Structure 1
Amino acid sequence: MTDAVLAQAREAYAHHRWDVAYTHFAEVATAEHLDTDDLAAFADAAWWLGDTDRSLELSEEVYRRCLQGDHTPTAARLAVEIGFLWLIRGEQQIGSGWISRARRLLAEVPECAELGYLRYLAVLEALHAVRFDEARAMAREMQSLATTHDDPTLCAMALVLEGIATVRSGQVTDGLALCDEAMLPIRAGDVERSWAGNLYCLVMALCFELADFERARAWTDATERWCDQFSNAAMFTGICRVHRAQLLHLDGAWDQAESRAAQACRDLADMNVEVVAAGHYEIGELRRVRGDDDGAEQAFARAHALGRDPQPGLALLRLAQGETATARRSLETALAATEPPLPRVPLLAALADVAEATQDPSLAGAVAAELAESAATFRTPGIQARAAAAAGVAHLLADEPDQALVTLREACRAWRSVGGRYETARAQVRLARALAAIGDTDAARREREQATVTFETLGARPDLAAVAAAGHMTARAAPGGLTGREVEVLRLVAEGASNAVVAEQLTISERTVERHISNIFLKLGVSSRTQAARFAFEHGLVGENA
């Protein structure tokens, strides 16, 4: 009877039916009939089902048997894998202990492939510490070990890690080519399943880090298809759900996005603390753009408690709540602690929003300049879209509407190309301001109306309110067809300010002031500052009611 059940367990395991395999292995294990290979399969099935506690318990027993049987390299690799599982659960002390144990064991045996698995964690640490050259060098050492010991799993791991280091160093095409090469043995079935899943997830994360959303879609689709071959793949399915939520957020399917992220947080609560934190952060972002301030605050707090910096989302929430100084300080603090260019991109994009809200052309210019450098280095649609949007803000604040038109049209095009409905609408609102500034009020109205429809469809209540308020202010504050900036200039002129004083007050050049005054004279049909000032007083642009 036991032999028949064990045979069923082995067959189910071979066909990736983890639930059946687990049930039969558990039945046999009660009678203590599992050899080491079967015990390892039992542990593996438990892990795929998401029962991490049982998997670790069984894996530690396999480790002890390997050590007792004088299979030191195998025991060392198991120690690496056990340590890795503890680390991603957030148990740093236990995980580090197992890694130290693996290091000690491998120091006692001749060079072997297992040394490469220990090196994998060292490369991840170097990547995190922004030591990209060191990470690439260690990844190449892993490839050498893989070649010497004919280990295709280790080879694929090394290629992906070298690819990530290469991309983050600014050589995007070469780095992604290495990642693509690493997938060939995975698709051929030559890479061990759990490591294959980890590599899929690393590449997915890299695509999102690059804001290369087309590639991110392709890799998320591919990873989901890979997961579908198994009866259950709790860890990797959960990670896919978070990335799918990010894509649904971009697409404007916000209810679905929050549902996917919430399910991932539930499923991976005891498996992967970093992914759960990312899920809560995504929920916070979804709630923020819909105006659910309390819900967003709670989600960001959960993400923070799990170790995920809640920026830039929390700063943007503060900005929406009118706490502009707090928002700016938070983003500048986060930027001061962030060295590599890629993770700076979303922080800088948020700081451009702060510059726009506070009408700070100097800040906007500095942000736009750095984002332009990142866009030129990494050349992905998402980064280019953020750079174009920030440049548009800088041009608007510098009273350069003609240049703003160019960059904001590019931002609209770039966001549309990746399916970013919400960000496209935000760019349209800014484009409307630029169009209004050059006097094309009809085109400005069309852009605002399209953006309004998008915000209504998505349920972006804060943006809807902002567009409505801006439209109301424009209607009240634009006698004679003047733009908002022209009203500001006229008000100061009417109060007796010279061109130099106007330039200083509005943080613009005297040449720009001269251009505004010329436009004001033309629109109002006047030929002197005195006549313009009279218009300002007659239409309530100066005084208590201004």
Structure 2
Amino acid sequence: MASSAALDHGLSAFAEHRWTDAFNALTEADGEGELGGANLERLSTAALLLGREDLGVDYATRAHEAFLDAGDAAGAARSAAWIGMYLLGQGDLARSGGWLARANRIAESGHGAESVAGLLRIPAGLGALYAGDAETAARAFDEAFAIGDRLRDRDAMALAHLGLGQARIMLGQTDDGLSLLDEVMVAITAGEVSPITSGIVYCSVIGSCHLAFDVRRALEWTIALDRWCGARPDMVMFSGQCQAHRAELYRLHGAWADALESARVAADRVRHGDWTGAWGAWYQQAEVHRLRGEIDAAEKAYLRAAESGYPPQPGLALLRLAQGNARLARSMIRQAAEEADPATRRQWLPAAAEIELAAGDVEAARRAADEMTEGMPRDAKPLLRAVTALCDGAVRLAEGNPRGALSSLRTAWACWQELEAPYEAARCRVLTARAWRALGDEASTSMELDAARAAFLELGAAPDVAAVDALSRRGPSAAVGPLTPREVEIVRLVAAGKSNRAVAGELYLSEKTVERHLSNIFSKLGITSRTAATAYAYEHALV
């Protein structure tokens, strides 16, 4: 038998989620005497959570064999099912199929293994879900939940509700799907399920919230996942995916440097064993590089994302568009959209419309915009309303309907402002400027372009700054003296007699941000008053 001191220490550390201590102590106990199936399962879990994948699968295999030797059919079927599902998640279909077949054979033999029946329905649901057959997946997950509920298998119940929620979102039953995801999260936060199931649910729920355009739910559960990972600092598995989710939210909210840093941390966690975060780690880096105009860096990051087995779309198609290859961009996005499930396809439609417009196919862009609009619920989430209205506004403008475009773009801009998404809000302003120009209103055109340019400058969106300059029919203006372009804008408005509140309103900043900028301006210019700032503005022809 294993050393009781080492085993007791390992079990205590495992219960307290101290994975490194648990792994070391249980490994010591295993070296001093053969561990039983249940404790080998714990050792496997600790190894997997620490990113030691090969050891984790080896210990799970030993646990399976120990259960068989002990005549514990339920334990043997359960461990075989988990190995099969783990390998399925990695895309190792041959080995996964073998283990799942073994688990089913043991379960069907009786001897108490029927208790694993609910868990064994999960892979069938996942297979249908990955194949885009949401109806078949929903039926499989329904069966899994019913069996798990009857047998009180909380892991099976949690995974079944997760899969059912995802299937309903794919079927367009977004609110029902999100309600199921909220329900399963209650079980997770209450600590009712195993650690690996908890991590799977956390990360999958956040991804599903993004698919459903529910950015506020995604933020709420990302914060919860961050806390969960933070309470387990030595955990590798799921920590990379957590950082990738953070990067996506940072990018949306205009904190691009923070997004890049989180994505790089995610990539580091992937290198240490969290393969679940591979796609997001590289895709989010690529997106920031693309928006900044760092083409080579974006190209490399998109290709690294593709190595995970998931397509780096729609970002890679948009990169091809930025490189001037509209034909290739259109071919890529069309193929990707045709192969995607309905929820993912809807995510890609705005990019598809943008690319079709750039390629000169207004009719195809209109079809994409209409597909976005069709079936959109009246109480759609702000993000869905924002992308749909922006897409419709861009197409209306291309169709020669600037007045109609303005209506859609106002809706889009208001939603992006509500979501605190400065880059997308600035893109709305550029399209709005083009609509005003088509209507002959150059004053409104200039106002919108100036506001958009200031936002793009602050974000570091160099390609968009250049595009605005081209629309403004001027070259980029140099900063005056020591002042940044944003500080020049503020000095101009102060010289025009505007209060901090008025400046904040016109530039869509907070009053505190304006105060900070003014403090920097005074320090740079060696002045102490708004009057002196006004004099500086006139002396340097800023007004």
Task: Calculate the TM-score normalised by the size of structure 2.
Answer: 0.82
Work out the CA distance in 1 between the residues paired with 2:432 and 2:444: 9
- Match 2:126 to one of 109, 121, 124: 124
- Match 2:217 to one of 215, 218, 241: 215
In the other structure, the counterpart of 1:382 is 383
| 1:426 and 2:427 correspond | yes
In the other structure, the counterpart of 1:284 is 286
Write out per-residue CA displacement over residues 125-174 of structure 1, whole angstroms, 9 at most, x where no aligned residue. Answer: 11122222222222221122122212223222222222221222112122
In the other structure, the counterpart of 2:462 is 461
Give 3-state SS (helix, strand or coil) of 2:374's partner.
helix
8 Å CA contact 1:88–1:273 kept in 2: the answer is no
- Match 2:300 to one of 298, 317, 326: 298
Matches within 5 A, 1:90-489: 90-109=91-110, 112-269=114-271, 271=273, 273=275, 275-338=277-340, 340-373=341-374, 375-376=376-377, 379-472=380-473
8 Å CA contact 1:170–1:378 kept in 2: the answer is no
Work out the CA distance in 1 between the residues paired with 2:4 and 2:277: 40
How big is the shift at 1:341? 2.8
How big is the shift at 1:266? 2.8
Work out the CA distance in 2 between the residues paired with 1:65 and 1:136: 34
Work out the CA distance in 2 between the residues paired with 1:409 and 1:318: 29
Work out the CA distance in 1 between the residues paired with 2:259 and 2:205: 21
How big is the shift at 1:432? 1.0
In the other structure, the counterpart of 1:507 is none
Residue 274 to residue 201, structure 1, CA distance change in 2 (3 Å): closer
Work out the CA distance in 1 between the residues paired with 2:187 and 2:31: 38
8 Å CA contact 1:318–1:324 kept in 2: the answer is yes
Write out per-residue CA displacement over residues 492-519 of structure 1, whole angstroms, 9 at most, x where no aligned residue. Answer: xxxxxxxxxxxxxxxxxxxxxxxxxxxx
How big is the shift at 1:377? 8.2
**Which stretches in structure 2 are left out of the alignment for 5+ residues?**
477-543
- Aligned amino acid, residue 241 of structure 1: Q
How big is the shift at 1:231? 4.3
8 Å CA contact 1:18–1:231 kept in 2: the answer is no
How big is the shift at 1:249? 0.9
Write out per-residue CA displacement over residues 224-246 of structure 1, whole angstroms, 9 at most, x where no aligned residue. Answer: 22233334332122211111111
8 Å CA contact 2:161–2:180 kept in 1: the answer is yes
How big is the shift at 1:2? 4.1
Write out per-residue CA displacement over residues 376-412 of structure 1, whole angstroms, 9 at most, x where no aligned residue. Answer: 4892322221111111111111221111111011111
Give 3-state SS (helix, strand or coil) of 2:246's partner.
helix
How big is the shift at 1:189? 2.1
Residue 134 to residue 360, structure 1, CA distance change in 2 (3 Å): closer
How big is the shift at 1:270? 6.9
- Aligned amino acid, residue 457 of structure 1: E
Bigger Cα Rg: 1
In the other structure, the counterpart of 1:22 is 23
Work out the CA distance in 1 between the residues paired with 2:107 and 2:142: 19
- Aligned amino acid, residue 389 of structure 2: A
How big is the shift at 1:269? 4.1
How big is the shift at 1:322? 1.1
In the other structure, the counterpart of 1:8 is 9
Matches within 5 A, 1:67-86: 67-86=68-87
8 Å CA contact 2:67–2:76 kept in 1: the answer is yes
- Aligned amino acid, residue 291 of structure 1: G
Moved more, 166-175 or 88-97: 88-97
How big is the shift at 1:206? 0.4
Work out the CA distance in 2 between the residues paired with 1:258 and 1:473: 31
In the other structure, the counterpart of 1:495 is none
Task: Calculate the TM-score normalised by the size of structure 1.
Answer: 0.82
Work out the CA distance in 1 between the residues paired with 2:173 and 2:39: 45
Work out the CA distance in 1 between the residues paired with 2:39 and 2:345: 47
Work out the CA distance in 1 between the residues paired with 2:22 and 2:72: 26
**More RCO (CA 8 Å, sep 6+):** 1
In the other structure, the counterpart of 2:529 is none
Give 3-state SS (helix, strand or coil) of 2:114's partner.
coil
Work out the CA distance in 2 between the residues paired with 1:474 and 1:357: 23
Residue 417 to residue 374, structure 1, CA distance change in 2 (3 Å): farther
Work out the CA distance in 2 between the residues paired with 1:347 and 1:289: 17
Work out the CA distance in 1 between the residues paired with 2:170 and 2:331: 27
8 Å CA contact 2:26–2:43 kept in 1: the answer is yes
Residue 271 to residue 72, structure 1, CA distance change in 2 (3 Å): farther
Work out the CA distance in 2 between the residues paired with 1:193 and 1:14: 10
Residue 377 to residue 304, structure 1, CA distance change in 2 (3 Å): farther
**Which stretches in structure 1 are left out of the alignment for 5+ residues?**
476-546
Work out the CA distance in 2 between the residues paired with 1:313 and 1:378: 28
Residue 168 to residue 90, structure 1, CA distance change in 2 (3 Å): closer
